[in-house]
Chain A
Amino acid sequence: MKWPDIQAVTDKQESFRDILEREENRARQSNNIAWLCSYTPVEIISACNFVPRRMLAAEKETLRADTYLHPTLCSYVRGALESMLRTENKGLQGAVLLNSCNAACHLYHAYAAYFPTAFHYLLDLPRISSAAAIKFWAGQLKRFHHTLADFKQLKVRLEDLQEQIELYRDNRQRMAALYGERKGEVTTKGSELIRFIQSSMLLPPQRVREILPHFESYVRQQKESGLAYHGPRLLVIGSMPGALLLELIEEQGGVLVLDDLCLGRRAVSFDAEPCGDEDPYGCLASYYLTRSPCARMQNAFTALKRWGELIEEYGIEGVILYCLKFCDSWYYLGQTLKETIKHTPLLVLEGEYAAGSGSGQIRTRVEAFLEMLSRRQRS
């Protein structure tokens, strides 16, 4: 199925995917700040009049990045650096990275040492979500805001930050709501939804707000058309499977109903109430630390219990756990996940971000898994 043409967005007859790519390229020309981890407070970057632009890894060999980063760091981090080195980004002003994991810290060190941009910042993200952690993180966010504003030679205006917080909150809630539609019959591809969310991490939030109604309308049209995808209903979870892998699963007849990916649902799953008169830094800190957790967070292990409920709620028949080679966080959490969802079939895939996604071995394993699930469906 092809993505629809949307006249309202453009006069030309373009597919939605083309439109997103065009918008992403345009955003690259504006002054942008690169970021990697989905815990990055993009609201602050936007409030300082920069476009926050996520570092996406190249699904290619990482020959240049490998000279800066050790080969036992995960291929996503190496791919992100490769992409930065290869892609022309005229508007790039700097990068903000978090101590999400050892690999992300080393990416920061390499970026700061070898990348000639004026601004680079390592933000200290707690691993816990206690009151003390929220207070600490709020302090870190405030300092980051002031540093970035100084770099831009701007005065810090809390109203601007509050405005951005509200804008992002609204965008994320609307994107998260699209997953709610997938409890019954699935009429849009999971990879399309993930692609849209990915794009929202590359565009200015105002532009996302403009494009979002068209995507929502597309989802609604699809639902009304009654043309549903049939096949084993899947949950994809883990660390950064490439787009090729998601497409491969769908090509083989799997239906991506739900995901718990940093480039997908997890990036928009914030149970956030409006800040109101609250201190915007405290509010932002609370949003991020209480959101759906990444495997590096302390509460990720306890949060696994909810997956049993979600599997039932969304009628999931099989789970695909993707572990990037050398991603310790998902490797350790994955083992606990395996023990937690004992009654749902689980396929564990491990590979490199660039090379592994579309490999023959992974194709064969996905095929066999889907065949097994289809047989279970029939019986």
Chain B
Amino acid sequence: MTFGLFKKNTAMGKFKEMIICNRNKRLLRWPFLYFLGREAVRRGLLKFPYRANAMLVEYGLQELSKAYQRKTALVWSSAFSPTEIFYALGVHHFSPEVAAAVSVSFGFQEKLLKEAETNWWGRDSCSFHRCAMGGILLDYFPRPQAFCASTHLCDGGVLLFNNLAARYRLPMLLLDIPLRQDQYSLDYVVRQLKEIIAALEDYSGKKMREERLEEAVAFADAARRELEEVNRWRSHPLSPFGARQALAYLYLYFNGLGSPVTPKIYNTLAQELQIRINEAATTGTKPPRCRLLWLHLPPLFRGNNILAYLEEKGAKVVFEEFSHVYWEPMEPHSPLEAIARRMLSHFSYGPIERRLQVIKTMAERFAVDGVIHFSHWGCRQNCGSVRIIRDYLRREGIPLLLLDGDCADNRSNAPGQVRTRIDAFLEMLA
């Protein structure tokens, strides 16, 4: 067994071993654990590069604690679900895809993948979904009262939820997102949102209050504004905040829209970035030699060091596709329409021209020298149109590196090959 993050003989290593070795899964359901974690963050016992990171960890622990304690109904939500309605209704939600990513970054993936693979789920499916399956089969992840998935972007998430709903005989709430952004689609999504809210009211015994929904949408809109501000600072040539630092914030991007905490965290981060950039300007810090844009996610497992390797070579991934604010400002007084518009506007869904246009916009805004597309094995949605992306970027004169690999499963990692390709790409850019 590998212990990527913590050495085996340290206290944290033993703690991890205790969980990994299945000695005490109940520990995850122990509220005191989360209390201790939050206190450690508050008192500064754990060090973070940004104050916003500490707020993020504290918030994450609080949400996780609620999910495990199950004092109210718990819903499993897929990556792009309308989280505003969960916050408005006071229903806790748990994103297995995000939980899988966190498990991977802590080095827990081997056991989860193995469990899924011995129970049908072979290596051709998405490793995040296999981790999620392993997590629930091994009882690491809290079991919900219902599943809620939206059909964008990937098929795998919807199918995983359908499969689990059938397995545990639990309700499955599906939000079917059409490809086009028009009035037909808007009406269809709004009607489904109403049906989902009615079903959630039924399962949770809570009643949706209009003002709470408007408030949640206002928080989501505030989060959007603050994230835009963060991205504005990130586009600065001296921004110290790259993809390596931004990955943790995907938790908010997927799970936090509708929460009052999310805009506060983004706001803190934007302020910190402003201060750091000013400091860098006064100290004469040099900008990176080569600026890169990352498409899809980078590998998250421990021991992989693609982003660090790039930085060693003087290149920096200054922005990543999943931090792009793709939706328009949200109008809190028409909350369901606002949520529906956000759902319908995802750039990676529908005609490929939308994604191509967004890639070009990001490349220009962040003044990148090149683009890296990481084709995560098992992600049909992401990999499918790489040829079109390659041809488009070639026409636009933007260099592209296509990397194949797996974000979560370290068993297929080929670091030597990846480094050789990166070296060649950077040489070409130089």
Contacts and interface: CB of A to CB of B under 8 A. Distances in A.
A122 B380 contact: no
A113 to B, nearest CB: 5
B155 A102 contact: yes
Given A73-B384, A110-B387, 4 more contacts: A102-B384, A105-B384, A122-B351, A300-B162
A70 to B, nearest CB: 4
Interface residues of B, number: 44
B155 A133 contact: no
Contact of B165 (A70, A73, A109, A301): A301
26 contacts: A68-B387, A69-B387, A70-B375, A72-B377, A72-B383, A73-B384, A99-B179, A102-B155, A102-B384, A110-B385, A113-B388, A126-B176, A127-B151, A127-B158, A127-B176, A128-B176, A132-B192, A133-B176, A136-B184, A136-B185, A140-B178, A298-B162, A298-B174, A301-B163, A302-B166, A333-B159
A300 B155 CA distance: 14
Contacts of A136: 178, 184-185, 187-188
A255 to B, nearest CB: 28
B172 A339 contact: no
Nearest to A68: B387
Interface of B: 120-122, 124-125, 151, 154-156, 158-160, 162-163, 165-167, 172, 174, 176, 178-180, 184-185, 187-188, 191-192, 195, 351-352, 375, 377-378, 380-381, 383-388, 391
Interface in A165-203: none
Contacts of B121: 335
B162 A132 contact: no
A284 to B, nearest CB: 16
Contacts of B384: 69-70, 73, 102-103, 105-106, 109
Interface stretch (A84-92, A222-230, A262-270, A324-332): A324-332
A139 interface: yes
A124 B122 CA distance: 30
Given A133-B188, A298-B172, A106 B380 contact: yes
B326 to A, nearest CB: 18
Interface in A335-373: 335-336, 338-339, 350
Tell me whether chain B's interface is mostly helix, strand or loop, or mixed. Answer: helix
Contacts of A300: 162
B159 A102 contact: no
A53 B150 CA distance: 32
A130 B386 contact: no
Contacts of A105: 384
Nearest 9 pairs between A and B by C-beta? Answer: A106-B384, A332-B159, A102-B380, A136-B188, A70-B383, A109-B352, A132-B191, A139-B184, A301-B166
Contacts of A127: 151, 158, 174, 176
A101 B155 contact: yes
Given A132-B195, A133-B188, A338-B120, A328 B155 contact: yes
A312 to B, nearest CB: 21
Contacts of A336: 162-163, 166-167
A interface: dominant SS: helix
A144 to B, nearest CB: 12
Given A127-B176, A136-B178, A335 B151 contact: no
B132 to A, nearest CB: 12
A17 interface: no
A67 interface: yes
B259 to A, nearest CB: 28
Contacts of B179: 99, 122, 124
A130 B184 contact: no
Nearest to A332: B159
A325 B380 contact: no
Contacts of A73: 380, 383-384
A286 B125 CA distance: 32
A296 interface: yes
Contact of A130 (B122, B154, B187, B195): B195
Contacts of B166: 301-302, 304, 336, 339
A339 B120 CA distance: 11
A328 B156 contact: yes
Contact of A103 (B180, B192, B380): B380
Contacts of B383: 70, 72-73
A185 B271 CA distance: 78
Contacts of A332: 156, 159-160, 162-163
Contact of B155 (A110, A128, A296): A296
Contacts of A339: 166-167
Contacts of A302: 166
Contacts of B385: 70, 106, 109-110
Contact of A124 (B158, B174, B180, B191): B180
B120 A132 contact: no
Interface in A203-248: none
B191 A328 contact: no
Contacts of A109: 351-352, 384-385, 388
Contacts of B386: 70
A306 B159 CA distance: 20
A328 B380 contact: yes
Contacts of A331: 122, 124-125, 159
Contact of B380 (A72, A99, A110): A72
Nearest to B194: A132
Contacts of A130: 192, 195
A185 B381 CA distance: 45
A347 to B, nearest CB: 14
Contacts of A69: 384, 387
A67 B162 CA distance: 33
A338 B192 CA distance: 31
